[in-house]
Structure 1
Amino acid sequence: MLDIRGGGCVTEGRSEYDGARVIEVEGRELMRKRPGMYVGSTGVGGLHQLVYEVASRSVNEVLTGGGGRVDVTLTQDGGVRIADDGPGIPFEAAGEARVGDGLETLLTRPETELRPDGRNTVRWSVYGVGPCAATVMSSRLTAEVRRGGVRRVQEYARGVALVPPVTAGPATDTGTTIAFWPDPGIFDTVECSFAVLARRVREVALLNRGLTLSLTDERPAGGTRSVSFRYPDGAGDFVALLDAETERVLPEVIAFEWENERMAGIAEAALSWRSAREERVRSFANSVPTPEGGTHEVGFRTGVADALTEHALRHGLLKPGGPGLGADRVGEGLTAVVSVRLDRPEYDGSTGGRLGGATVRDGVEQGVREHLGSWLDRHPERAAAVIGRITRDTDPDES
């Protein structure tokens, strides 16, 4: 276990809190000496990873605790502040949580050691180290919790808690705010890219319907810039955004969601066809992009092809005995988003870019075939338009 809790050994006579707050120097120094093992690199990608690790915890706190928004701010002095309106993560030292269950533990131990992923866990990246990465790799970090009418604050320096949490006054709302200043001794740059972060913030908002995410940049000399995102239709809004400037075959986006216990998760798919020929399919697992695809994409394409072929044969839109509408044919002009939320996602390879699992492939294929097939039956004219477009563009006998 990598425990990075802070500066020395437990000695007789120290309190339970003092003992629990002790960080093994070896663990903390390992993270600082080999940051690429935990955040990917010491470049701007690794810097952004610190933001993702803290923001991921805030998003999950909001989604499970009844809040509604997470705000990310790039401050004038080079820091990053992430605030949420969740219930507030309790401090252990305040007696609000058992040792090992509170904010101090989240800030000093990798999340991979604390709890497994689940279908309701939102990840911003494949690393999943958690806020402790920001604690250790920042020259300074402050944590503020507003809970039970009280505001408490704790400060860290390079992974070490300077003092126990202190009461800083009353609180009129609830939530957790973490601010950190990345250590220039670790990173090649401590200048975050507003454009890159804005794209990822929008992506996470699109994948989690109803969640409000904002990004504010206080650094520009010409004044603050800010963006805010909230999408009530999730993946359906995602496809509409991807197709915003193209001519579509269908007037609306087809979208559906279903749960499948065999794959131990929930799947969501949205799709439409454009007049263009290229395929655009974006896939995700627990809100993390899977740029190399995987079993969820394979299942999606097979399910789409099967649903269209079955409908076309039943309604005389394909010749019996002829070729079906295979995945290669239905992909022309297709725009789609496929998102799965799994209890235990499995990946092929070490990069996490390709999702594995035969049960995921089967669960997505079955769900897409059933839901898309039902939509086609309810909208026969639009189904005929899609099938006609595919056969005209891919069948040499129809040209």
Structure 2
Amino acid sequence: MTALTADVHDPEDYSARHLSVLEGLEAVRKRPGMYIGSTDSRGLTHCMWEIIDNSVDEALGGHCTRIDVVLHADGSVEVRDNGRGIPVDVEPRSGLPGVELVMTKLHAGGKFGSGSYTASGGLHGVGASVVNALAMRLDIEVDRQGHTHAMSFKRGIPGTFADKGPDAAFRPASGLTQIRRVAKKVTGVRIRFWPDRQIFLKDAELARESLLDRARQTAFLIPGLTIAVRDERTDGEAPYEEDFRFDGGIGEFCGYLAPDEPVAQVLHFQGEGQFTETVPVLDDNGHMTPTDVDRRLDVDVAMRWGTGYESTVRTFVNVIATPKGGTHQAGFERALVRVVNDQLRAAKLLKANDDPVVKEDVLEGLTAVVTVRLPEPQFEGQTKEILGTSAATRIVSQVVGKELRAFLTSTKRGEKQQARAVLEKVANAAKARLAARQQRETQRRKNALESSALPAKLVDCRSEGLDRSELFIVEGDSALGTAKLARDSEFQALLPIRGKILNVQKSSVADMLKNAECAAILQVIGAGSGRSFDIDAARYGRIILMADADVDGAHIRTLLLTLIYRYMRPMLEAGRVYAAVPPLHRIELTNVRKKRGAKPEDRYIYTYSDSELRRTLLELEKKGKSYKEPVQRYKGLGEMDADQLAETTMDPRFRTLRRIQVEHADEAAKVFDLLMGNEVAPRREFIAKGAQELDLARIDS
């Protein structure tokens, strides 16, 4: 590595004496950012994972079943594995033991076509040596050939320490030391390093949660591997310990990542492909010669569509995460879009003149884990965030395309239904996208819908404060008239709906938006719908559903809850949706003196169910109180006058509200799916079972 040692302004004063050559690990210490990205916590974490990844590479090859990571209280990090161990014999060209060669020479290791690793996370051969160069002290022990071989380094220089800890006296010296005997079958590596605070920032530290997340992720990607994490930085408390092992592989990982209910089962696709790559190879004369090398790329993909809107796609190369994707993700997405479009047209869900679905539609609600394994992958930089191996696009696309097409065209009963559900979800996502685009275009043109602001039938309130404002969604125009007189116009708004709104459980987004009642509700609340719903933009602090206390009223409430659950769910999660509780009966007492200033509740008693009415009448008879017969039964909200409606249902001083939880709306959606969904068999079973419990005496003759 060549660098300038001084600023030179006069070209005639610029000569070879101004150049310096950084030998070996000196270049790493001079420019650490080139190798680990930064010298803050992120770079320190990168160093730790360079060491862990070497152990993971052993596990990838089937040579390691357990990795232990210890965060010591003194700031050091220790990594232990039961892999094959770094070679301890002397490498003939350098004359150095294998351990010393790997730890002190850049681009030295078993990942350069020697056959030691068919797939690995590290490929540049700089990981361990870079960590060694940036460590104040590094100790390594290797179990091989019946002995434990030990060696220590200070800032990349081999030698011995007089005592424990990074500040002990140090004497440079080369070579390994055998410190004890072990069984010949025992192999493994133990590395402990102290980060050099001359390099890393003072506040750079390793985050436990980040380590746990990465350890969990790696254990998912290598079934059968145990990764144990121990954090001793606990200020005198017991150390934190957690072990990770997942035998289900990326299929289990996909289920862990998925945030929503499944539309179909987890799909697990595996395959492989061959490609030829031209790489420079070091020949016997020490010359780099371009050589065609046959490679094999293994593909392992798990994916699952869910009911939500967000997509999560995690990609990996030899268990190393590629957060910015690369050629393997491009191939995965290309296959998805191509195959899904073909099957949508085959299933008549897309007509000949319809636009094809796009990547955004296919990825909606998708959780996927895409992994590829290959020798010497081409990354962009040492931080390995993007895969650049071009052949991965073709091979991943072929594997995923073939397996996904087989699933979507399957004639097996369970798979056929799931495939149809996936295709319908993608088709609905495309319709919603087109509808949203049309809505944006409509807004830009400022058409009548936009310029008319809010629906004319809305009876708005004067207050704009969310802490008090309430929107009553009222069943019927007759109830609206009474509610206008009963409300407090300062903070209570009214929106009437005409009977029963659309059942959105079995309707598409486009159909929902075309429905006048549903569109009016979304427009009045003013916070959007589905993925674009922004609860902070909602115009009212509470939504209160006010329907009759009968079967039809319950039906209307359920329809409204299904709409809110599917398209405005954050309102439910925030506890801002309520159901008004109107009474079913009014008992008028006849022997109550009409005192001046007497409260209405002294003369009238309201009950909310037939059983409550019977109990109340019995209590009145026991107390010797008389009442007017027959007891008034409300058939609807429209039968109440304004005072009665305010007193029982709308006035915050007297009313009762029932807060709707997400579980309630979820249950309502399931009931509607059962009673009004597309599946006939479950509904027939429900009716047959319910018929046995029906009281025939209650049926009108």
Structure 1 residue 106: Cα displacement:
1.1
SS of 1:27's partner is coil
Aligned to 2:230: 216
Q: Could you say if the C-alpha distance between residues 96 and 349 of structure 1 is closer, same or farther in structure 2, counting changes exceeding 3 Å? A: closer
Q: Does the alignment pair 1:367 with 2:399?
A: yes
Q: 1:166 aligns with which of 141, 161, 177?
A: 177
SS of 1:232's partner is coil
Given that residues 212 and 228 in structure 1 are in contact (C-alpha distance below 8 angstroms), is that contact kept between their aligned partners in structure 2?
yes
Aligned to 2:319: 287
Q: Could you say if the C-alpha distance between residues 112 and 99 of structure 1 is closer, same or farther in structure 2, counting changes exceeding 3 Å? A: closer
Q: Could you say if the C-alpha distance between residues 58 and 99 of structure 1 is closer, same or farther in structure 2, counting changes exceeding 3 Å? A: farther
SS of 2:141's partner is strand
Q: 1:184 aligns with which of 175, 193, 197?
A: 197
Q: 1:257 aligns with which of 270, 278, 282?
A: 270
More contact order relative to length (CA 8 Å, sep ≥ 6): 1
SS of 1:291's partner is coil
Q: Could you say if the C-alpha distance between residues 123 and 330 of structure 1 is closer, same or farther in structure 2, counting changes exceeding 3 Å? A: same
Given that residues 60 and 120 in structure 2 are in contact (C-alpha distance below 8 angstroms), is that contact kept between their aligned partners in structure 1?
no
Given that residues 327 and 387 in structure 2 are in contact (C-alpha distance below 8 angstroms), is that contact kept between their aligned partners in structure 1?
yes
Q: Does the alignment pair 1:331 with 2:329?
A: no
- Structure 2, unmatched stretches of 5+, are 3-20, 160-172, 277-294, 436-507, 511-701
Q: 1:395 aligns with which of 406, 410, 431?
A: 431
- Larger of the two Rg values belongs to structure: 2
Q: In terms of mean alpha carbon deviation, does 98-107 or 301-310 score higher? A: 98-107
Looking at structure 2, the residues matched to 155 and 349 of structure 1 have their Cα atoms a distance apart, in angstroms, of 29
- Normalising by structure 1, report the TM-score: 0.84
Given that residues 378 and 389 in structure 2 are in contact (C-alpha distance below 8 angstroms), is that contact kept between their aligned partners in structure 1?
yes
Given that residues 97 and 176 in structure 2 are in contact (C-alpha distance below 8 angstroms), is that contact kept between their aligned partners in structure 1?
no
Given that residues 282 and 337 in structure 1 are in contact (C-alpha distance below 8 angstroms), is that contact kept between their aligned partners in structure 2?
yes
SS of 2:337's partner is helix
Q: Could you say if the C-alpha distance between residues 175 and 354 of structure 1 is closer, same or farther in structure 2, counting changes exceeding 3 Å? A: closer
Structure 1 residue 354: Cα displacement:
3.2
Structure 1 residue 385: Cα displacement:
0.9
* Deviation digits for residues 318-347 of structure 1 (CA, Å, limit 9, x no counterpart): 434544443232111111121222334334
Structure 1 residue 99: Cα displacement:
4.4
Structure 1 residue 312: Cα displacement:
3.6
Aligned to 2:209: 195
Q: In terms of mean alpha carbon deviation, does 37-46 or 380-389 score higher? A: 37-46
Q: Does the alignment pair 1:108 with 2:104?
A: yes
Q: Does the alignment pair 1:227 with 2:242?
A: yes
Partner letter of residue 396 of structure 2?
V
Aligned to 2:146: 149
Q: 2:87 aligns with which of 72, 90, 93?
A: 90
Structure 1 residue 220: Cα displacement:
0.6
Given that residues 35 and 130 in structure 2 are in contact (C-alpha distance below 8 angstroms), is that contact kept between their aligned partners in structure 1?
yes
Partner letter of residue 342 of structure 1?
L
* Deviation digits for residues 192-217 of structure 1 (CA, Å, limit 9, x no counterpart): 21112222222222222322222211
Q: 1:68 aligns with which of 49, 65, 68?
A: 65
Looking at structure 2, the residues matched to 96 and 127 of structure 1 have their Cα atoms a distance apart, in angstroms, of 21
SS of 1:131's partner is helix
Given that residues 283 and 297 in structure 1 are in contact (C-alpha distance below 8 angstroms), is that contact kept between their aligned partners in structure 2?
yes
Aligned to 2:665: none
Partner letter of residue 383 of structure 1?
A
Looking at structure 1, the residues matched to 33 and 341 of structure 2 have their Cα atoms a distance apart, in angstroms, of 47
Aligned to 2:573: none
Looking at structure 2, the residues matched to 233 and 122 of structure 1 have their Cα atoms a distance apart, in angstroms, of 21
Structure 1 residue 111: Cα displacement:
3.6
Given that residues 72 and 233 in structure 2 are in contact (C-alpha distance below 8 angstroms), is that contact kept between their aligned partners in structure 1?
yes
Given that residues 62 and 85 in structure 1 are in contact (C-alpha distance below 8 angstroms), is that contact kept between their aligned partners in structure 2?
no
Aligned to 1:9: none
Aligned to 1:299: 331
Given that residues 81 and 177 in structure 1 are in contact (C-alpha distance below 8 angstroms), is that contact kept between their aligned partners in structure 2?
yes
Looking at structure 2, the residues matched to 31 and 192 of structure 1 have their Cα atoms a distance apart, in angstroms, of 21
Q: Could you say if the C-alpha distance between residues 87 and 296 of structure 1 is closer, same or farther in structure 2, counting changes exceeding 3 Å? A: closer
Looking at structure 1, the residues matched to 298 and 270 of structure 2 have their Cα atoms a distance apart, in angstroms, of 7
Given that residues 145 and 174 in structure 1 are in contact (C-alpha distance below 8 angstroms), is that contact kept between their aligned partners in structure 2?
yes
Looking at structure 1, the residues matched to 376 and 49 of structure 2 have their Cα atoms a distance apart, in angstroms, of 20
* Deviation digits for residues 53-98 of structure 1 (CA, Å, limit 9, x no counterpart): 11111222343362211111111222111110112222135x9999
Looking at structure 2, the residues matched to 171 and 350 of structure 1 have their Cα atoms a distance apart, in angstroms, of 36
Partner letter of residue 170 of structure 1?
R
Given that residues 79 and 191 in structure 2 are in contact (C-alpha distance below 8 angstroms), is that contact kept between their aligned partners in structure 1?
yes
SS of 1:88's partner is coil
Structure 1 residue 294: Cα displacement:
2.5
Aligned to 1:123: 121
Q: Does the alignment pair 1:49 with 2:46?
A: yes
Q: How many residues align?
A: 374
Aligned to 2:254: 239
SS of 2:205's partner is coil
Partner letter of residue 209 of structure 2?
A
SS of 1:235's partner is helix
Q: Could you say if the C-alpha distance between residues 28 and 302 of structure 1 is closer, same or farther in structure 2, counting changes exceeding 3 Å? A: closer
Structure 1 residue 351: Cα displacement:
6.7
- Structure 1, unmatched stretches of 5+, are 3-23
